[in-house]
């Protein structure tokens, strides 16, 4: 296993589900764990919203039961490598993900499907992460269905390499590695 986990931003949206599936496959391919993080924007999802501000870790007993169970259900829908975990954080989503990217192999984010008019449009969180993350960032579009009815969510994965020089065992882009075949 590598020293760095694959980090994925997770919520209950179709793009996040696609990113989660892609990140789990990539983590398996390079032999590392998956660290999924769901960022709570204060006070939503918290039992007792007394602590405002940014926290990179929020303990499960601070999260509303229904919210906690729902996110664990989303996390458990994907076969992640052994030792993978779902973490909760609090604060600005982009800021939390960038800070956590300092100790990640790769950051994987979901994005809305591009259209003919908005081919290169990324959301504010994705733009911030692509610009400031300390590791490479992969954006995975929300799933689409092909005419044959097959899920086509892996056809247009976009790789950005804003942080390739960062410390760690960055496998992305290594010629001949099994991980590059996922792109």
Read off the pLDDT of residues 44-94 as tens digits, 9 standing for 90 and up. 666 666 666 777 888 888 888 888 899 999 999 999 999 999 999 988 999
Report the predicted TM-score, pTM, of the whole model to 2 decimal places.
0.77
Average pLDDT over residues 148-157: 50
**Residue 128, in any domain of the structure:** yes
Domain count, the chain: 1
Q: What is the pLDDT of residue 153?
A: 46
**Residue 170 domain-assigned?**
yes
67 part of a folded domain: yes
The 10s digit of each residue's pLDDT in 99-145 is 999 999 999 999 876 555 555 556 789 999 999 999 999 999 887 76
Tokens standing for residue 40: 């709570």
Burial class (CB in 10 A: 0-12, 13-18, 19+), 26: buried
Q: What is the CATH number of the domain that holds 89?
A: 3.40.50.620
Confidence of residue 165 (pLDDT cuts 50, 70, 90): very low
pLDDT at residue 26 is higher than 80: yes
Q: Does any domain span residue 92?
A: yes
Considering the domain boundaries, does residue 1 fall inside one? Answer: no
Rounded to 5 degrees, what are φ and ψ at 95? -60, -45
Neighbour order of strands in the sheet with 34-40: 85-90, 34-40, 6-9, 106-111, 137-141, 158-160
Do residues 108 and 140 lie in contact, with contact meaning Cβ atoms separated by under 8 Å? Answer: yes
**How many whole angstroms separate alpha carbon 131 and alpha carbon 133?**
6
> Does pLDDT of 1 surpass 80?
no
Which structural domain range is residue 66 located in?
6-182
What are the DSSP calls for 137-168, one per residue? EEEEEPP-B-TTS-B-TTTT-EEE-TTTTSSS
Inside any domain, residue 48:
yes
């Amino acid at each position: 296993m590598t020293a760095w986990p694959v980090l994925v931003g997770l919520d209950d949206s179709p793009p996040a589900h696609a990113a989660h599936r892609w990140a789990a496959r990539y983590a398996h391919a390079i032999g590392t764990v998956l660290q999924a993080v769901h960022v709570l924007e204060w006070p939503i999802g918290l039992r007792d919203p007394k602590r405002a501000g940014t926290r990179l870790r929020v303990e499960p007993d601070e999260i509303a039961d229904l919210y906690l169970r729902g996110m664990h259900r989303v996390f458990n829908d994907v076969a992640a490598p052994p030792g993978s975990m779902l973490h909760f954080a609090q604060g600005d989503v982009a800021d939390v993900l960038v800070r956590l990217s300092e100790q990640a192999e790769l950051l994987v984010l979901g994005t809305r499907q591009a259209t003919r008019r908005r081919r290169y449009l990324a959301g504010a969180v994705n733009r911030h992460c692509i610009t400031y993350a300390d590791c490479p960032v992969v954006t995975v579009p929300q799933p689409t269905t092909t005419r044959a009815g097959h899920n086509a969510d892996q056809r247009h994965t976009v790789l950005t390499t804003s942080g390739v020089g960062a410390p760690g065992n960055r496998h992305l882009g290594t010629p001949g590695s099994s991980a590059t075949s996922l792109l």
